[in-house]
Amino acid sequence: MAAARSASWAFEEVTVKNKAALKHNMDLVMFTGGDLSDTNLPNYGQSDSCYLCTAQDNVQTNHMKTFNVPIIYRSPLISAIKQQRKQQDRMKKDFTPTLLDFGPVRIQLARHFGFCYGVENAIEIAFKTVDENEGKRIFLLSEMIHNPQVNNDLLSRGVKFLMDTSGRQLIPWDELSADDIVIIPAFGTTLEIEGRLQDMGITPLQYNTTCPFVERVWNKAEQIAAKEYTVIVHGKPKHEETRATFSHSRHHTPTVVVKDMEETHRLAAYILGTQPAEQFYEEFKGQYSEGFDVTKHLQRVGVVNQTTMLASETQAIADYIKQTIQEKYQLADNQVAERFADTRDTLCYATNDNQTAVTGMLEEEADLAIVVGGYNSSNTSHLVELCEEKLPTYFVSSEEKLLSRDEVLHWDFHHHQELHSTQFLPQKETPATILLTSGASCPDAIVEGVIRKLLSFYGLEHKVNEAIETFG
């Protein structure tokens, strides 16, 4: 018998018997850690312990799902490092970084980073769709993932975006025909857009790259809606994933979006009745479902999230709402479930792993941190936030932003502008130590490119090949 690693807030404890069909009330079950070699569960994804099983799986096979991702996104160095760490730490308990010691410069590489299951799944489906439909017009609802290289590669192959990331229409709906192919991005889409496509004769889910962990959130919202809970979504209101989750949730139950703890505090005031109800509708304009009654619909609630938000912030928000409900209704701990739904099992494994790996990396002494990823990537910006709390941090989209040993172009996501900074790398007699990680939509090849560029400033580019041999 094998059991999943249990964390206090992030994962659901699951036990599975050998060769037994998995029966569970969730569409997806995630196993993290534990020896699952004799459970005959299919292992999906590159993560060394991400086990997903659909309700339809008979649990009769034992294989690792690998994705057909273009080789240009892979990195010999990063693949070798990840494979060695996987073999050394199959239980995923070690979140210390990997030290790449090149003498004058030392790079501490986060334990977990880069493409997650959902991203690799989306890339495989999108590129396969292009390959198998030569001559057809192919559209993406919006950017498939928040990485410029991947999106530009799809554009170069003739794919067109119908909307930008904020939902602004780029190509009018009436220009589509029933013969066109429309790909749903990894963030998912709204029920309204699905319906619009259906009305045009386009099957909306035929080319669907929605991340299964996003769908898991939708399923949880539907489950607690059936028990008459209102759903509170922790997410960025304009983010594609949050818009999709809001749409799916409000179809089943009253729903409201909070973007951060500050908005949560304001929402709690309406739960407690310390703010006039009519003020809610202006304060949360555009963030609540039609017909939302603030005097009725905040009496029984559950919290789900945009999967790329800071997991610790989602947990803090859920805890705060829970405490507010307890205070309002004077509930003992064993009575809380009457008014607050347990939704801990909706947090994304990759988001949690990458953020925990950054926390582990930050325990090392270093001069600076570099975080690589798309500038509009939510999960990447949260990694930047974590690093900024401790040391100088540079958010770059690729090695091209590293101009020289002294200069760097980097993104200030707080003010939405690219900055030009000098005195980038430290000038000192002792080795410079750099912390390095990337977002879940960033190809490993770009991370290797950053490493090579850093080494070139020290005349050490040749050391990359030596490192590949060391880890290979």
Quote the CA–CA distance of 383 and 373 in Å, as a whole number. Answer: 10
State the SS3 of 140-195.
Answer: ECCCCCCCHHHHHHHHHCCCEECECCCCCECCCHHHCCCCCEEEECCCCCCHHHHH
CB 41 within 8 A of CB 53: yes
Q: How far apart are the first and last CA of the chain?
A: 33
3-state SS class at 80: helix
Give the C-alpha distances (Å, rounded to integers) separating 16 from 89, 128, 344.
Answer: 22, 34, 20
Q: What does residue 242 show for φ and ψ, rounded to 5 degrees? A: -65, -40
Give the residue numbers marked as catalytic: 241
| Nearest residue to 363 (alpha-carbon basis) of 386, 379, 380, 385 | 386
**How many other CB atoms sit within 10 Å of the CB of residue 402?**
23
Give the C-alpha distances (Å, rounded to integers) separating 204 from 106, 138, 178, 189, 216.
Answer: 48, 13, 11, 10, 19
Which residues in 43-96 belong to E strands, given as ranges?
Answer: 43-44, 51-52, 64-65
Quote the CA–CA distance of 346 and 283 in Å, as a whole number. Answer: 27
**How many other CB atoms sit within 10 Å of the CB of residue 106?**
18
Quote the CA–CA distance of 356 and 362 in Å, as a whole number. Answer: 10
Give, in degrees to the nearest 5, the angle at Cα 77 between 65 and 35.
40
User: What is the dihedral sign for C-alpha 436, 372, 126, 241?
Assistant: positive
Quote the CA–CA distance of 468 and 418 in Å, as a whole number. Answer: 33
**Residue-wise DSSP of 206-224:** TTB---HHHHHHHHHHHHH
3-state SS class at 40: coil
Residues ≥6 apart with Cβ < 8 Å to 468: 76, 77, 80
Single-letter code of the amino acid located at 122:
A
